[in-house]
Amino acid sequence: MGGSEPSGSAKAAESGTRDAEDSAPATAPAPAPAPAPAPAPAPAPAPAPAPAPAPAPAPGEPNSSAPSPASSEDSPSDTPDTDASAPAPASASASASASASASASASASASAEPNSGTASPTSGEDPPFPTPDLDPRVAAVRRAGAAGRRWRSLQLGACAAMLAVALTGGAIAIGAMKDGSAAPAATASAVSPGLLNSGDIDSAITALQTHLRAQPRDFGSWATLGLAYVEQARTKGDPSRYPQAEKAFTKSLELSAGNGQALAGRAALAAARHDFPGALKYADQVLKDNPYNERSLCTRVDALVELGRYDEALTAAETADTRRPGIPVFTRYAYVQELRGDVTTARRVLEQALASSTAKGDIAYVASQLGQLAWNQGDYETALTDYARALTADENYLPALEGRAKAQAASGQQAEAIKGLESVVARYPLPAPLVELGELYEARGADGDKMMAADQYALVDAWTALARANGVNADLDTALAAADHGDKQAALRAAQAEWDRRETVHTADALAWALHVNGRDAEALPYAKKATATGYRNASFLYHQGMIENATGNKTDARAHLTKALALNPGFSPLGARTARAALKTLEANQ
């Protein structure tokens, strides 16, 4: 592992001790030597992929825009998998990694921001190099957020029209760079994949592009460039980078069929687009030939979590820790434990990971994970401390900026929270912070706040349209935002579609709430119960269950769950918490 690597393993952090016998499997190679990361018939392994991104965390789950999560990303400390034939030191036989999804895999990648912009589709001979200009599709959304345009008066039709113009007419031509058909495929990259861990993705992308213009048949660098684009999509909030990543991976595989780096990159890309079955397929394909490929071990955990296969995810996390212990594994292990209701273990593992971190990207990422965990438990003071540490490491780290604003709002610092979120959405108009800012405007209730809130909710629709145009499945984002602030029937369609694809606690909650707002509470209740069945401590889930129980006449259960929601995290939502208190007051008055 490069960057910061914690000593010991996730399981060691959980238990505090480890028998020497348990450690033995970690120090010996697998029964059969693992092949090099690029299993294709190439003379030498290709450089390792860049940190694998995730779709932004969405409320409660990595979000397609962030990071999402949002969802499957490795920590900035991820290193080239060129040494994958040997196990990492100090691993444990039964410990592991958990996916912060998404949405909080969004947040396991490097925090450095790459160049913006995109390129129009080109032939297989042309490298997908973007210009440094910001992609017009993203700029269209950002300009609206920064200028505070009255999207409500334009209505969604005008918003869609604006996006349509950008999507069809905004492609930027790239310089054609033919790939010298007489030259053989490069045996190894002259550009170190470690550049992608250096904290400067801009420089890494520039270096890769320069190198590939001179050595266009270097399949390893094409794979590394693809992963840089995936990371760029996450850190810039720009899903238009995903098609560029796909083109780079395709080029790499054309030059060296089946090479592990490109396949691992495709797994990361699939996860970033919320194609979790695809992510699992590609990760398994890589691990079949190279069981020590760190990125694929982590992506496999992410995919299983996001498919709702939690027991398998825990097993996969333990396997990952045995083979490649480190910060990416620690964070995934912590998230799996949080989903099972074991917050104590989750925090202990994350604290050890943070204590072991030295790279700024690692510190920002792990400290933000700790902040989110504290916020979920209503410990706002600790959350603010954790976010402050993250921002000391990287003052522009999006999850920390957003998390700090949420903790400020829950602590009663409304003005500071609004100012912070306004700054976030001016640069990154992603669904989660847009909804949070809109709800803060509504809760404040000053002149013009209702209109300003509507602007934010309309921008969510614009963003999801952009995400879908670039291959991202944004149904969960749509369901979560539209149920409370948009087209309720569209919310139900999206939630049902997402549940049909993957049965997770987050999709169960989204479907339950979408059914509720459409007046179908009897159907909603079983899904609300599924959302809380694993022990995951989430105040929004408890609030939704309590409101649904109240609507179905289960007053005793409704009181219990609304009370639990407010006791756990009294500031879980500017509007939801207020509604929960009002409903609970009525229930207690009629008791």
Mean pLDDT confidence for 13-37: 42
368 cis-preceded (ω within 30 degrees of 0): no
454 in a structural domain:
no
With 90 as the cut, is the pLDDT of residue 130 above it?
A: no
- Residue 538 to residue 407: CA distance in whole angstroms: 15
pLDDT of residue 232: 86
Among residues 411, 445, 464, the one where a domain terminates is: 411
With 60 as the cut, is the pLDDT of residue 485 above it?
A: yes
pLDDT of residue 548: 99
Least confident of 51-65, 123-137, 343-357: 51-65
Rounded mean pLDDT of the chain?
77
531 in a structural domain:
yes
Residue bearing the bigger pLDDT, 197 or 544: 544
Residue the block writes with tokens 């993250």: 390
Judge if 377 and 498 occupy the same domain: no
pLDDT of residue 582: 98
> What pTM was computed for the model?
0.74
Judge if 321 and 206 occupy the same domain: yes
Among residues 355, 390, 411, the one where a domain terminates is: 411
pLDDT of residue 235: 74
Which of the given ranges, 115-119, 174-178, 511-515, has the highest pLDDT on average? 511-515
Residue bearing the bigger pLDDT, 99 or 316: 316
pLDDT of residue 354: 97
CATH number for position 557:
1.25.40.10
With 90 as the cut, is the pLDDT of residue 491 above it?
A: yes
Least confident of 53-62, 204-213, 214-223: 53-62
Question: How many domains is the chain built from?
Answer: 2
Q: In which band, very low, low, confident or very high, does the pLDDT at 238 lie, cut at 50, 70 and 90?
A: confident
b/e burial code for range 450-472 (CB count within 10 A of at least 16 → b): eebbbbbbbbbbbbbbbbbbbbb
Least confident of 7-21, 72-86, 207-221, 286-300: 72-86
Least confident of 105-114, 228-237, 327-336: 105-114
Judge if 405 and 508 occupy the same domain: no
72 in a structural domain:
yes
> Which residues form the domain of 64?
10-135+172-411
Mean pLDDT confidence for 423-434: 93
Mean pLDDT confidence for 301-314: 98
Mean pLDDT confidence for 481-507: 97
90 in a structural domain:
yes
With 60 as the cut, is the pLDDT of residue 26 above it?
A: no
With 90 as the cut, is the pLDDT of residue 254 above it?
A: yes
Residue the block writes with tokens 């590939």: 212
Residue bearing the bigger pLDDT, 583 or 97: 583
Q: Which contiguous run of DSSP H or E holds residue 69?
A: strand 68-69
Judge if 511 and 395 occupy the same domain: no
Judge if 498 and 352 occupy the same domain: no
Among residues 385, 411, 437, the one where a domain terminates is: 411
297 in a structural domain:
yes
Judge if 30 and 126 occupy the same domain: yes
pLDDT of residue 42: 41
Neighbours of 519 (CB within 10 A): 11
Mean pLDDT confidence for 153-176: 33
Judge if 117 and 240 occupy the same domain: yes
Judge if 183 and 75 occupy the same domain: yes
pLDDT in tens, 528-576: 999 999 999 999 999 999 999 999 999 999 999 999 999 999 999 999 9
With 80 as the cut, is the pLDDT of residue 176 above it?
A: no
Least confident of 95-104, 296-305, 510-519: 95-104
Contact 50, 230 (CB under 8 A): yes
Q: Choose among 99, 109, 103, 100: nearest CA to 66.
A: 103
492 in a structural domain:
yes
Q: How many CA atoms, within 13 angstroms, populate the side-chain half-sphere of residue 386?
A: 28
166 in a structural domain:
no
Could you tell me the two tokens for 203? 């420089």
pLDDT in tens, 59-111: 334 333 333 333 333 333 333 343 333 333 343 333 333 333 333 333 333 33
Mean pLDDT confidence for 391-408: 96
Mean pLDDT confidence for 174-185: 34
With 50 as the cut, is the pLDDT of residue 223 above it?
A: yes
Judge if 382 and 494 occupy the same domain: no
Judge if 375 and 503 occupy the same domain: no
Judge if 373 and 495 occupy the same domain: no
467 in a structural domain:
no
Judge if 128 and 212 occupy the same domain: yes
With 60 as the cut, is the pLDDT of residue 123 above it?
A: no
With 60 as the cut, is the pLDDT of residue 142 above it?
A: no
Residue the block writes with tokens 């510190």: 363
What angle is formed at CA 401 by the lines to CA 64 and CA 449, rounded to 5 degrees? 85
Q: Choose among 506, 458, 505, 499: nearest CA to 482.
A: 458
